[in-house]
């Protein structure tokens, strides 16, 4: 089974050293959160063949049929302040985009803050949930959903325009063990560097290189307010910069972005 292949590839690593596998679960993020509250160790991964209540951000739904895609949640316990949680989100995007590029050979880009796009469509989403008490993060759950072997014609009508899969773009099937292995490996590498260096110039440049939205005109929605401008990329702290027509620049650490065609 593919999970066994993945387990043996990860046995000497941090992320995925222990993998809990569920044929079906409500949401790997919900399960991971409960286990993290119960003391589960850093690096624990929860994987499910199918989710009945897959979660997106802000109460949205993650739709994905059983058996073809990847649904994974990873528990991290970075010894840092909650203020840097958005930077960990950014490193997860870099790791995810690089991992999907390595696994598929396809040009994989980040759409701020948490989507991975191939050829202009969403192939993966990342949902991070954080528990913090006082000055320290207790844990972060990184939930990763990747459309791996979803057939183009089986993507539901409401997602056809904006969603894709590795298979739909490459015209071949992929090993989920391999795709997950690349994601965990890239994440482990970026995470180790982050713990040493923080949000480094290298990470910022890497994010900007992978960004699908830099220099494009976009609308950013944050707490029901809309801001329009040209995306200037990340600043030294990891905030996204948007310059409006008057040349004023605003910084965003959270929100949603849509592009103006």
Residues in the chain: 261
**45-51 and 19-25 strand pairing:** parallel
- Partners of 111 in beta bridges: 115
- Least Cβ distance, residue 128 to ligand BT5 (angstroms): 9
Exposed, middle or buried, 260 (CB in 10 Å: 0-12/13-18/19+)?
exposed
Nearer to ligand BT5, 157 or 236 (CB): 157
Nearer to ligand BT5, 22 or 227 (CB): 22
Closer CB to ligand BT5, residue 145 or residue 238? 145
Whole-number minimum distance, CB 52 to ligand BT5, in Å? 10
**Shortest distance, position 2 Cβ to ligand BT5, whole Å:** 16
- Cβ-based nearer residue to ligand BT5, 23 or 134: 23
| Contact residues for ligand BT5, defined by CB under 6 A | 27-29, 51, 54-58, 60, 62-64, 71-73, 114-115, 122, 125-127, 143-145, 147, 159, 163
Q: How far is the CB of 250 from ligand BT5 (least distance, A)?
A: 21
Let me know: does 222 contact 252? Beta carbons within 8 Å.
yes
* Edge-to-edge strands, sheet with 217-222: 249-252, 240-243, 225-234, 217-222, 256-259
CA 220 – CA 240 distance, rounded (Å): 10
């Amino acid at each position: 089974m593919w999970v066994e292949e993945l387990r043996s590839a990860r046995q000497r690593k941090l992320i995925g050293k222990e993998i809990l596998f569920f044929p079906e679960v409500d949401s790997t993020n919900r399960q991971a959160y409960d286990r993290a509250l119960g003391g589960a160790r850093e690096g624990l991964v929860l994987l499910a063949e199918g989710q009945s209540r897959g979660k997106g951000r802000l109460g949205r739904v993650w739709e994905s049929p059983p058996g073809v895609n990847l649904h994974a949640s990873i528990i991290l316990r970075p010894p840092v302040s909650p203020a840097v949680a958005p930077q960990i989100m950014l490193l997860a995007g870099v790791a995810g985009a690089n991992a999907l590029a390595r696994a598929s050979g396809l040009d994989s880009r980040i759409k701020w803050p948490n989507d991975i796009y191939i050829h202009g469509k969403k192939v993966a989403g990342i949902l991070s949930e954080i528990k913090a008490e006082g000055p320290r993060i207790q844990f972060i759950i990184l939930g990763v959903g990747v459309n791996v072997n979803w057939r183009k014609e089986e993507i539901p009508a409401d997602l056809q325009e904006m969603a894709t899969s590795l298979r739909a773009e490459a015209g071949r099937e992929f090993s989920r063990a391999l795709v997950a292995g690349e994601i965990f490996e890239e994440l482990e590498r970026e995470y180790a560097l982050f713990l040493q260096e923080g949000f480094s110039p290298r990470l910022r440049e890497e994010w900007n290189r992978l960004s699908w939205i830099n220099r494009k005109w976009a609308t950013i929605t944050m707490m029901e307010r809309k801001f329009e401008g040209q995306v200037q990329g990340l600043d030294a702290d990891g905030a996204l910069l948007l310059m409006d027509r008057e040349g004023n620049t605003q910084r965003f650490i959270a929100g949603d972005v849509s592009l103006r065609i």
